[in-house]
Amino acid sequence: MRGELHRSVTFKDKLPWVVRWSPDVHTLFVDYWQIGSRSPRQIGFLRDTGGDIEPITRDTYRYSTLALSADGKTLATVLEKSYASVSVLSQVGHEFGEPHPLLSQSRDYNSFGSVTWGTNGSLFLNNLGRLLNLGADGKNQTQLLADSSAGIRHPSFCGANYLVLTWAFHGSTTTESIWRTNVDGTSPRQLTSGAFDMFPVCSSDQKLVYYIDVLGGHISRVPLDGSGKPETPFAMPQGYSLVYCGLSASPGGKMLATPIEESSSGVVKIALFEPGSSSPPRTLDASHYHRGESGLQFTPDGKAVLYVGQEKGVDNIWVQPLDGSAGHPVTDFKSEQIWSFSLSPDGKSLAVLRGHLDSDVVLLQESK
């Protein structure tokens, strides 16, 4: 019977995360995500006669994991609510002072969101289906891109004229590819067609876009004008693999930084790749590195890398000098997770998207 169900059902527009069979094997319960939707994961079921997933939950909360009682009449899951804020911190000496909130306690943003400084002092804020431009004071919001059936992630500037970004499931595809747009979001052009291409950044001459090919497990590059095919310019150091948490290009274009993990120990380091060099990358300590998609970023002088570090369950921005001296935090948050951050081009302001998830175990019971 299981074989019959798998032959009759396709998940062309839904991504199942957790599945559980009913005791009589006539129903398959699913924790799933509607591909391209801005809605979070929901709970649904499939009948053994085939067809599509029928929703049990239809709300704005995220459901993670799924357990089924022995009699098949009660489902247990974890309901998660996200709360986020966007703040700007000004430089005070070698650190950053108190956060000035721009958006507070918003449920519109979560760990998939990002904040990025523009070249004109404005901020770019996105969460899956939307990309907004807003003033440094949080006002004058302008929507640049909106795609209710897709995910827009990891926007990055290529000079003053272009944006590069990850566009997931655009045009009813099931892939995450690298795209280029004008800085105002117009004239989109697809640059890659890989299954999972993420974290694009431009070379200093704005001729190439480097990105992480997650499926291939390496850093690739492609011409910004879309005239060529992807290349793989770097070899990963032996015994290490990519962490898939971000990619940053130094201001002069001489280095690319990305976190890598030692396969045997799980220790995370920051790898510094040099375009045009056949030498293995140099590595820096990043013992406090907090996994996620918060990314990392070179300082404007190119002498250090910023990343999200965690101590005692609290996230802060850490600076790691390239000379190998000890890293240290440059913010002093006492709570919450940092989902994204961006240092302004002059290095004097730090934009941070922070938040937390409230989780509750809930029971979904069969109605009479």
User: For residue 12, is pLDDT > 90?
Assistant: no
The pLDDT assigned to 169 comes to: 77
Residue 35: the pLDDT is: 66
- What pLDDT, on the 0 to 100 scale, is given for residue 302? 94
Burial 240-260 (b: 16+ CB within 10 A, else e): bebbbbbbbbbeeeebbbbbb
Query: pLDDT of 64-114, one tens digit each?
Result: 889 999 888 899 998 888 888 899 999 988 899 999 988 876 667 777 788
The stretch 3-29 carries a mean pLDDT of 71
Name which of 53, 58, 60, 66 is nearest 20 in CA terms.
66
The pLDDT value given to residue 282: 92
Position 192 pLDDT exceeds 70: yes
How high is the pLDDT of residue 178? 95
DSSP label at residue 52: P
The predicted structure's pLDDT at residue 147 = 79
Tell me the torsion sign for CA atoms 320, 321, 327, 329.
negative
Would you place residue 210 in the very low, low, confident or very high pLDDT band (cuts 50, 70, 90)?
Answer: very high
pLDDT greater at residue 10 or residue 83:
83
Predicted confidence band of residue 2 (pLDDT cuts 50, 70, 90): very low
Cα gap 113→79, rounded to integer Å:
19
Average pLDDT over residues 24-28: 85
In contact, 50 and 163? CB cutoff 8 Å: no
Q: Is residue 17 classed as helix, strand or coil in its secondary structure?
A: strand
Distance CA 75, CA 98 (A): 44
Q: What is the percentage of the chain residues whose pLDDT exceeds 70?
A: 92
pLDDT of residue 119: 79
Domains and CATH numbers, the chain: 2-72 (no CATH), 85-356 (2.120.10.30)
Check the CA dihedral 257-116-195-112 and report its sign: positive
If you average pLDDT over every residue of the chain, what do you get?
86
pLDDT for position 221: 96
pLDDT at 40 over 50: yes
Please check whether residue 119 is in contact with residue 108, taking contact to mean a CB–CB distance below 8 angstroms: no
- The three-state secondary structure class of 345 is coil
CB atoms within 10 A of CB 129: 19
Q: Which of 1-15, 42-56, 83-97, 296-310 has the highest mean pLDDT?
A: 296-310
Provide the pLDDT for residue 328.
Answer: 93
Question: In this model, does residue 4 exceed pLDDT 60?
Answer: no
pLDDT digits (tens, 9 = 90+) for 315-325: 999 999 999 89
